[in-house]
A and B are shown apart, each in its own frame.
Chain A
């Protein structure tokens, strides 16, 4: 099995740094810093109040340590909480975006110029702490869809923000969510009015650039009655020797008959092969099926970060509502992932599906942690969980922690789990048919993850498959 242990020496493709002048505040966190961030963003008083409440609560909280990952203590005072590329105050058209920034996104495969935009996909580009551009804003607004940076939303749609911000993930929810609520700098806001089917994929592309800067963004997506939206999130960061914290919050609200599909292709810098550097990705993602027949589906492909710690969850409040979680998590070298989901069944006939595929290589640690909770009123609730782990080599590990709490006799919860080793025999079989080692590994792994990939929007499924190949490149000698 030696050839499988010689893992990943492939360069991270997105590890470059953009040399751009930025407006940063000094490192450290205090009430003054929270006020300063709010002031820099020109926020209305309600927003500042909300942040301060979160900050004061955060001070009373302790960093959690129950997750199955290890890392040195994070020094919250050495971190910079706000960094924005210096830019003219107002930008009238996307073509006025700083060319260096445009170039950065171009290199990442995201075009922000008016002529060359990805057809059929609207993008909100977030660079360090702020949104630098949002495409297709106007054409979307014609059908009543609001798609803009969080900062703009706070100013232009305060009534919606007041109503929905923190309605799914309260500012006091957990340590990192509270921290995010206090200092979040930007993110995306998306509102689909009643009965509207969003005509294109919406996406946010997160890019961390500045050194020693934490990225704390928020995404809020609201789908009103009967609305539909498919949303994609992509992320990359430069290669740096220092760890950087990314503590985001994503809230989804689906009203009656509405559907939200949220897909993530997470490719933050994972650190080098000895585990130096990389992003700590500590994220709170939760959706609420607020009305009857609502549906929320999370699909994630987690290949990056040195530590991933997240549980995209669904609160199934409305009757007949549906929650789905499809996940592929890959760890290689010294990466650690503790990820999974929570499905909270409250309404009647609610249904949830969890498909988790964990792939461990190198000295990676991969943990699936999932909670299925069925409340006393959730008559006929159904859950199906399938949790498969694949190991490449002998130095990696996989763990599964399923938690099940059922307070209702008419419901059914099914759990299947498997662990397989990518067999020398499978690999040999491929090679015997002329398929070279790296292609063989990527074929076997992609086959393993297929049940998840098929839930991604087409273009991204192809991307994700390639990414998986790249993440595991070098797994074969």
Chain B
């Protein structure tokens, strides 16, 4: 479903991604771990099409199309969803209006009928119940004045409403209490169908107790240096990233 080949990207002239190779098949959950500043968010943003990042080499094929040639909104309409590490505030725009506009544009692009206000509200309320969000958030402005955890929960709500094909979660578990963590996990697990896939960026193996990844990747300094099964996450938690760095150093010497 997603094939990333030798992806290089820089921001303000500084190279951050230095040749990422990653294949995600439909039905899979991939976890991406790695030290601070290693480029995990950059990878997520590049996949979603943030204009600040310049792709200098490589390609990304999504469902047979050249993903990098699509505008960010076209990528969203094609089913790519990014739960932001730092969700953005939009003052004066209500959550429901924001999400309804997004959902309807996505539906329109697929030739589906747009939902009217009533239909949408019903859907929204139902999804809010699932992610255990207070109905007062329907009319609150997007992310403005939310607590850190509320912002993250709101990302999950948006994911639940938009039902993406490929969900990329960038540290959605950071700053969440245990209950919320389970909700995030449930959200991802619900999406787990043979047609969909997710990429979950996290620092904590804890989340992976709830979301069982098919593959765990370790990103260090702009490269995926190791991939493995879910046990890799446990090993990382136990030993820290240094053991991997040592491994790489050893390999480079040899």
Contact = CB atoms under 8 A, between A and B. Distances in A.
**Size range of the chain B interface in the assembly:** 20 to 34
Given A431-B76, A434-B106, A436-B73, A426 B99 contact: no
B111 to A, nearest CB: 14
Given A431-B72, A431-B76, A443-B98, A436 B93 contact: no
Given A433-B99, A439-B101, A423 B88 contact: yes
A448 interface: yes
For the residues of A in contact with B, the DSSP-based class is helix
B92 interface: yes
Which among B72, B88, B89, B106 has the greatest number of chain A C-beta atoms within 10 A?
Answer: B72
B92 A436 contact: no
A435 interface: yes
Contacts of A436: 73, 105
A439 B72 CA distance: 14
B93 A444 contact: yes
A426 B52 contact: no
B71 interface: yes
B102 A435 contact: yes
A430 B162 contact: no
Nearest to B77: A434
Interface string A391-430: 0000000000000000000000000000000011110111
A169 B59 CA distance: 68
B101 A424 contact: no
Given A431-B71, A435-B105, A436-B73, A426 B162 contact: no
A428 B97 CA distance: 17
Contacts of B102: 430, 433-435
Interface string B103-122: 10110010000000000000
A432 interface: yes
Given A431-B71, A435-B102, A451 B92 contact: yes
Contacts of B92: 446-451
6 contacts: A428-B49, A428-B72, A432-B84, A433-B102, A434-B73, A448-B92
Interface of B: 48-52, 71-73, 75-77, 81-82, 84, 87-93, 97-99, 101-103, 105-106, 109, 141, 158, 162
Interface of A: 3, 423-426, 428-437, 439, 443-444, 446-451
